[in-house]
């Protein structure tokens, strides 16, 4: 069995290699990795300047398990947004060992003479995580940058959301002779030019505020409202609990209305994506305004009939249906055609719609449904008395695929 060393080389400067990593490189007869990396450590070895999994697999297959040791060099630490995660378990017939390195976060924090254990860590390199939300919620945010998301572009986005005064530190070419660390407000950094592959530490002393973004069931008064229907706070709280959105889920909100559920679901999935489907023009405008109000960068509004747009949208992990325009069966068929395991929660007022949903699932025994009826009332002040004003009863239907049993 071929021995494979996956070696974290730290920020790049050979002086920052751990002793174990240095020994792992020394014993490797073959080195693969980014061109700049193997160029530093490849003397006297077979060198393959590649980080593509298919090519790494070919290199491993061609090696002599009796004589060779394959070293795969990765930047930073093997457990921090690393190539090591991509290749884990995908090199057959190999004995894979990992060697940790100094991550860009650890190195950058030390250069800033700053702790990092209290930092919110995200990556904007090849990902679309919600940087705005992270900065609004956390006093300290560390972010990798890359591709179209350069430091200046990300700081322009911060400025557009009223965060131009937050303090930003940008590090580029870390540990190399050309290393550069620049500090300033987001507004100042937005005017500069930085390598796309950089890191940022963002400090926001005013993080937090009246919107508690780590809970669901936000107060109704926080949302902009018009004539479009809005799912009330208590119903949202129960519906979202039933849906159980995960941080990295792709979520649909079908019949989004004002966007109260869209916003809450987007906040519950900071590493995922929320797609808000809506047909009505007045509701679409409110959706846009509430998206901006809550800084939901991971929310995308899709205008039109949802059942016709679903095929053009990434596969959902779960879906909330607040309205179907009389096309419930077609809507559910469209969702299950994309993902038969999709978790679905449906809010229903009309008994006819309730009956249609129950009948639909009678023909699908592979799914189990749970129905909860909520009848709420709100107090209204009349003179010196408080009278309770009843709201329409809501049926909350949860549909989950049955777990297979042996």
User: DSSP letter string over 352-383?
Assistant: HHHHHHHHHHHT-TTEEEEEEEE--EEEEEET
Alpha carbon separation from 258 to 227, 250, 279, 335, 393 (Å, rounded): 9, 20, 12, 22, 20
In a domain, 111, yes or no: yes
Domain ends where: 102, 124, 150? 102
Looking at the fold, whether 305 and 263 belong to one and the same domain comes out as yes
Q: Where are the beta strands (DSSP E) in 101-197?
A: 120-123, 140-144, 167-172, 180-185
Beta-ladder partners of 2:
94
Looking at the fold, whether 189 and 147 belong to one and the same domain comes out as yes
Alpha carbon separation from 156 to 123, 173, 252 (Å, rounded): 17, 22, 28
Distance CA 356, CA 352 (A): 6
Looking at the fold, whether 377 and 365 belong to one and the same domain comes out as yes
**CATH number of the domain bearing residue 145:** 3.30.950.10
In a domain, 47, yes or no: yes
Instruction: Please report the pLDDT score of residue 404 as a whole number.
Output: 67
Own/partner contacts of 44-49, CB < 8 Å, gap of 24 or more, are: 45/71
pLDDT tens-place values along the chain, 406 residues long: 999 999 999 998 999 999 999 999 999 999 999 998 898 898 899 999 999 999 999 999 999 999 999 999 999 999 998 888 888 888 988 999 999 999 999 999 999 999 999 999 999 987 667 788 889 889 999 999 999 999 999 999 999 888 999 999 999 999 999 999 999 999 999 999 999 999 999 999 988 755 555 567 788 888 888 777 788 899 999 999 999 999 889 999 999 999 999 999 998 998 899 999 999 988 999 999 999 888 888 899 999 888 888 888 999 999 999 987 778 999 999 999 999 999 999 999 999 999 999 999 999 999 999 999 999 898 999 999 999 999 889 999 999 999 864 4
387: exposed, middle or buried (C-beta count within 10 Å: 0-12, 13-18, 19+)? exposed
Looking at the fold, whether 342 and 239 belong to one and the same domain comes out as yes
17: exposed, middle or buried (C-beta count within 10 Å: 0-12, 13-18, 19+)? buried
> Is the separation of the CB atoms in 129 and 296 below 8 Å?
no
Domain ends where: 203, 231, 247? 203
In a domain, 214, yes or no: no
For 260-326, where are the alpha helices, taking DSSP H only?
A: 260-268, 281-293, 306-309
Looking at the fold, whether 237 and 357 belong to one and the same domain comes out as yes
221: exposed, middle or buried (C-beta count within 10 Å: 0-12, 13-18, 19+)? exposed
Locate 393 and state its tokens: 């009863």
Looking at the fold, whether 226 and 329 belong to one and the same domain comes out as yes
Looking at the fold, whether 192 and 310 belong to one and the same domain comes out as no
Buried/exposed 60-89: b ≥16 CB within 10 Å, e otherwise = beebeeeebbbbbbbbbbbebbbbbeebee
Looking at the fold, whether 272 and 385 belong to one and the same domain comes out as yes
Instruction: Please report the pLDDT score of residue 212 as a whole number.
Output: 53
User: Reduced to 3 states, what is the DSSP secondary structure of residue 164?
Assistant: coil
Q: What is the pLDDT of residues 73-123, one digit of tens each?
A: 999 999 998 888 888 888 988 999 999 999 999 999 999 999 999 999 999
Domain containing 136 equals: 105-203
In a domain, 212, yes or no: no
Total domain count, the chain: 3
User: 10 Å Cβ neighbour count for 193?
Assistant: 7
DSSP assignment, residue 81?
A: S
Instruction: Please report the pLDDT score of residue 405 as a whole number.
Output: 46
Distance CA 71, CA 48 (A): 10
What is the dihedral sign for C-alpha 114, 120, 125, 130? negative
In a domain, 215, yes or no: no
Domain ends where: 169, 203, 237? 203
Instruction: Please report the pLDDT score of residue 165 as a whole number.
Output: 95
In a domain, 66, yes or no: yes
Locate 112 and state its tokens: 């800033």
Q: Which residue's entry shows tokens 């494979």?
A: 4
Looking at the fold, whether 312 and 363 belong to one and the same domain comes out as yes
In a domain, 381, yes or no: yes
- To the question of pTM greater than 0.85 for the whole model, the response is no
Looking at the fold, whether 286 and 368 belong to one and the same domain comes out as yes
**CATH number of the domain bearing residue 23:** 3.40.1010.10
Instruction: Please report the pLDDT score of residue 406 as a whole number.
Output: 44
Q: What angle do CA 136, 140, 142 make, to 5 degrees?
A: 105
Locate 234 and state its tokens: 């208590």
In a domain, 406, yes or no: no
Instruction: Please report the pLDDT score of residue 213 as a whole number.
Output: 53
Phi/psi class of residue 90: alpha, beta or left (left: φ > 0; alpha: ψ in -120 to 50)?
Answer: alpha
Looking at the fold, whether 283 and 357 belong to one and the same domain comes out as yes
Looking at the fold, whether 113 and 141 belong to one and the same domain comes out as yes
């Amino acid at each position: 069995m071929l021995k494979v060393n996956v070696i974290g080389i730290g920020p790049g400067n050979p002086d920052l290699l751990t002793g174990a990593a240095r020994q792992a490189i020394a014993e490797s007869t073959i080195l693969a990795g980014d061109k700049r990396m193997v160029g530093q450590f490849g003397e006297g070895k077979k060198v393959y300047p590649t980080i593509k999994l298919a090519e790494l697999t070919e290199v491993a297959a061609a090696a002599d398990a009796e004589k060779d040791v394959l070293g795969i060099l990765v930047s930073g630490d093997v457990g921090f947004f690393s190539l090591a995660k991509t290749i884990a378990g995908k090199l057959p017939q190999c004995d894979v060992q990992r060697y940790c390195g100094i991550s860009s976060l650890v190195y950058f924090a030390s250069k800033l003479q700053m702790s990092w254990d209290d930092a919110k860590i995200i990556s904007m390199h090849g990902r679309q995580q919600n940087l705005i939300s992270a900065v609004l919620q956390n006093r300290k945010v560390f972010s990798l940058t890359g591709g179209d998301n350069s430091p200046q572009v990300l700081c322009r986005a911060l400025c557009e959301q009223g965060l131009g005064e937050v303090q930003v530190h940008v590090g580029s070419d870390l540990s190399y002779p050309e290393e550069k660390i620049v500090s300033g407000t987001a507004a100042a950094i937005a005017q500069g030019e930085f390598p796309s592959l950089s890191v940022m530490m963002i400090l926001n002393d005013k993080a937090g505020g009246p919107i508690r973004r780590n809970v669901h069931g936000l107060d109704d008064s926080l949302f902009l409202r018009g004539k479009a229907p809005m799912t009330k706070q208590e119903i949202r709280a129960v519906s979202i609990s039933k849906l159980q959105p995960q941080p990295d889920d792709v979520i649909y909100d079908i019949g989004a209305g004002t966007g109260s559920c869209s916003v809450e679901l987007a906040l519950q999935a900071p590493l995922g994506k929320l797609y808000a489907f809506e047909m009505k023009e007045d509701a679409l405008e409110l959706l846009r305004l509430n998206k901006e109000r809550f800084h939901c960068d991971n929310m995308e509004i899709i205008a039109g009939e949802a059942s016709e747009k679903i095929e053009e949208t990434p596969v959902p992990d779960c879906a909330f249906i607040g309205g179907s325009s009389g096309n419930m069966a077609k809507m559910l068929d469209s969702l299950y055609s994309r993902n038969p395991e999709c978790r679905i929660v449906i809010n229903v007022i009309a008994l006819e719609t309730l009956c249609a949903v129950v009948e639909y699932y009678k023909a699908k025994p592979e799914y189990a449904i749970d129905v909860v009826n909520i009848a709420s009332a709100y107090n209204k002040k009349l003179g010196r008395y408080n009278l309770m004003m009843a709201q329409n009863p809501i049926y909350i239907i949860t549909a989950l695929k049955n777990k297979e049993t042996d």
